Amino acid sequence: MGKMWAGRFAKELDRVADDFNSSIHFDSRMYRQDIKGSVSHAQMLAKQGIISEDDCRLVIEGLEGILADLDSGKLSIDYGAEDIHMFVEEVLTKRIGDVGKKLHTARSRNDQVAVDIRLYLRDEALEITALVKELIGAVLFKSEENKDTICPGYTHLQRAQPISFAHHLLSYAMMLIRDVGRIEDAVKRMNVCPLGSCALAGTTYDTDRGYTAAALGFDGYTLNSIDGVSDRDFCLELMSAFSIMMMHLSRFSEEIIFWSSWECKFIELDDSYTTGSSIMPQKKNPDMAELVRGKTGRVYGNLMALLTTLKGLPLAYNKDMQEDKEAVFDSIDTVKMCLRVFAPMVRTMRVLTDNMYAAAGKGFINATDLADYLVKKGLPFRTAYKLVGQSVAYCIENGKVLDELSLEELRAFSPMFEEDVYGEISLESCVSKRISKGGTGKESVEAQIAYVKEFLK
Ligand code: ARG
């Protein structure tokens, strides 16, 4: 296809350079948004008397025909075109004749692409928040199932204090709720229309930017035309939100991998979310979780790539900015794939409560509670802490855990120990006594469940 801008040139673009320059193999995915933006632009031009109503009708019918034909597959993308904007305009002109050439009045591809990508990202962000909510729903489901499941809570990957497994899972629900918030915040700032900025300086036509902004569902229009066409901070914000969310998914993955290891065996992943080995018949590998952990790297990488692309660019538009799309599109695709597999993986995992309970029973996980017991009897915390430390050392020497010490043995450390100590340091009581707001106690777990449910409503 001859170039729309060929008038100024004596020679055609070199073929390799032409391929290099073209973005259609990745920006064609924005054809719906491109057409939507053009329809609103044409309506605005007619309303302002810049084109006639008749021309506007022809343009819109033409655009709608192209949309329908692309959707149905009747029209296929010409990958020889320079980009999606040129492609649509060329097809339009081929179909409706010279009237099609009026569409680009008071517009540049610079504001066109800026509006297309915002529309596209807005749609995708909505889909992604729905997927995150689905994952939060799966976490909630597992939490409700495991309100009374006791497992070890860790610090430094050392058994620290017993917690309810629901409490552990709900911490991820809280993180994911903030992830949704970050995506929504990014969309709020993104939802400002750059259309009408034109190439960089605005236009001499009497356009109505408020009209196109409202027609396209934006909250307003950009107040500086250079900013409107030059910045891609909204892509970066979204990609940052995705990166933080992937960091959460990656940590969750790491735990799922750890929990399903033979060293731990707290959970068993459903067969439909595990794979076998080509050589070791006994293997059941948590590949999905590992891939999510692995793909986190590329989502970070995309963010870094675009940050780096933009950092030295003078204002206003530069072709470097065409690089925004592959980065942000890849992050979108990756995040969606990860979420789609993660939610059902969590929902279907089998929690091996006995193993969790047994692990919580070892490792002096109730030592803090033993110290708290003495504090309640009147000892200062540091004194109690030291005495319990000594009793732990005694246990290690004698191959016992704290619950197995006789009252006599305990009294050797402090005469304050009485028969009621055993009830106080049982795993159940260690968990249920943690009544502080936000703790692992039952009331707090119930409150968290209610909060997550309310969020999902
Ligand atoms: N394909 C281009 C992009 O994605 C569209 C904008 C082109 N503008 C220009 N002046 N060359 O950035």
Domain 362-456: state its class.
Answer: mainly alpha
Reported as a single tens digit per residue, the pLDDT across 263-312 is: 999 999 999 999 887 777 777 899 999 999 999 999 999 999 999 999 99
Q: Whose CA is nearest to atom 3 of ligand 1?
A: 322
Report the share of the chain in percent with pLDDT over 70: 100
Fold for the domain defined by 110-156+164-204+224-358 = Fumarase C; Chain A, domain 2 (1.20.200)
Question: Pick the catalytic residue: 156, 167, 168, 272?
Answer: 156
Distance 312 CA to ligand 1 centre (A): 18
User: pLDDT at position 197, please?
Assistant: 98
- Per-domain residue ranges of the chain: 8-105, 110-156+164-204+224-358, 362-456
Q: Is 317 near ligand 1, meaning CB less than 6 Å away?
A: yes
**Closest ligand 1 atom number to CA of residue 325:** 4
> How many angstroms separate the Cα of 194 from the Cα of each of 186, 189, 225, 321?
16, 12, 7, 15
Q: Give φ, ψ of 151 to 5 degrees.
A: -140, 165
In this predicted structure, the answer to whether residue 359 has a pLDDT above a threshold of 70 is yes
Does 23 sit in the ligand 1 pocket, CB within 6 Å? Answer: yes
Active site residue 167: no
Q: If you count them, how many residues does the chain have?
A: 457
Ligand 1 atom 4 nearest Cα? 322
- Asked if 170 contacts 377 with a C-beta cutoff of 8 angstroms, the reply is no
The per-residue pLDDT for 363 is 77
Q: Give distance in angstroms: CA of 383 to centre of ligand 1.
A: 71
Q: Which residues contact 433 (CB under 8 A, 6 or more apart)?
A: 369, 424, 441
In the reported structure, the alpha carbon of residue 242 is separated from the centroid of ligand 1 by a whole-number distance in angstroms of: 25
How many angstroms from the chain centroid is the CA of residue 14?
Answer: 41
Determine contact, residues 240/179, Cβ cutoff 8 Å. no
What's the predicted TM-score (pTM) here? 0.94
**41 part of the active site:** no
Q: Is residue 130 packed enough to be buried (19+ CB in 10 Å), middle (13-18) or exposed (0-12)? A: exposed
Q: How far is Cα 69 from Cα 366, in angstroms, rounded to an integer?
A: 68
Q: What is the DSSP letter of 221?
A: B
Q: Ligand 1 atom 11: the closest Cα is on which residue? A: 319
Distance, CA of 235 to chain centre: 13
Query: In Å, how far are 358, 369, 395, 401, 422 from 404, measured between CA atoms?
Result: 15, 15, 9, 5, 9
Mean pLDDT, residues 125-142 taken together: 98
Beta bridge partners of 11: none
CB-based contact 86:52 (threshold 8 Å): no
- What integer is the mean pLDDT of 350-370? 92
Give a three-class secondary structure readout of 359-415: HHHCCCCCHHHHHHHHHHCCCCHHHHHHHHHHHHHHHHHHCCCHHHCCHHHHHCCCC
- What is the β-pairing status of strands 350-351 and 150-155? unpaired
Is 8-105 in CATH node 1.10.3720.10? no
Ligand 1 proximity of 113 Cβ (cutoff 6 Å): yes
pLDDT at 1: 59
Measure 19 CA to ligand 1 centroid, in angstroms.
Answer: 14
The closest-lying atom of ligand 1 relative to the alpha carbon of residue 321 is 12
How far does residue 231's CA lie from ligand 1's centre (Å)? Answer: 13
Task: Report the candidate in 42, 146, 148, 155 with the shortest Cα–Cα distance to residue 99.
Answer: 42
Instruction: Please give the Cα distance from 305 to 217 (Å, whole number).
Output: 30
Q: Is the CB of 89 under 6 A from ligand 1?
A: no
Active-site hit among 52, 261, 277, 436: 277
How far is ligand 1, taken at its centre, from the CA of residue 17, in Å? 15
Q: 387: closest CA among 370, 400, 406?
A: 370
Beta bridge partners of 150: 164
Judged by DSSP in three states, 152 sits in strand
Ligand 1 in reach of 372 Cβ (< 6 A): no
Say how many Å lie between the CA of residue 94 and the centre of ligand 1: 22
Answer yes or no: is the C-beta of 109 below 6 A from any ligand 1 atom: yes
Summarize the confidence of residues 71-99 as an average pLDDT: 97
Q: Would the CB of 230 count as within 6 Å of ligand 1?
A: no
Q: Please indicate whether residue 40, judged by its CB atom, sits closer than 6 Å to ligand 1.
A: no
Q: Is the CB of 321 under 6 A from ligand 1?
A: yes
CA angle 297, 302, 308 (to 5 degrees): 120
Helices (H), 194-286: 209-215, 225-230, 233-260
Write out the two tokens for 319: 């072709």
* Residue position matching structure tokens 């929902």: 347
Quick check: CB of 365 below 6 Å from ligand 1? no
For ligand 1, whether the C-beta of 118 sits within 6 Å is no
**What pLDDT digit, counting tens, does each position of 47-58 carry?**
999 999 999 999
Tally of CA atoms within 13 A in the half-sphere of 334 that contains its CB: 26
Q: Using an 8 Å Cβ cutoff, are 30 and 52 in contact?
A: no
From first CA to last CA, the distance across the chain in angstroms is: 52
Is 136 buried (19+), middle (13-18) or exposed (0-12) by CB count in 10 A? Answer: buried
Give the C-alpha separation, 121 to 228, whole Å: 16
The mean pLDDT of the chain is 96
How far does residue 110's CA lie from ligand 1's centre (Å)?
Answer: 6
User: What is the best residue among 79, 322, 324, 326 to mutate for testing ligand 1's pocket, by most ligand atoms within 8 Å of CB?
Assistant: 322
Share of the chain above pLDDT 90, in %: 93
| DSSP-assigned beta bridge partners for residue 152 | 162
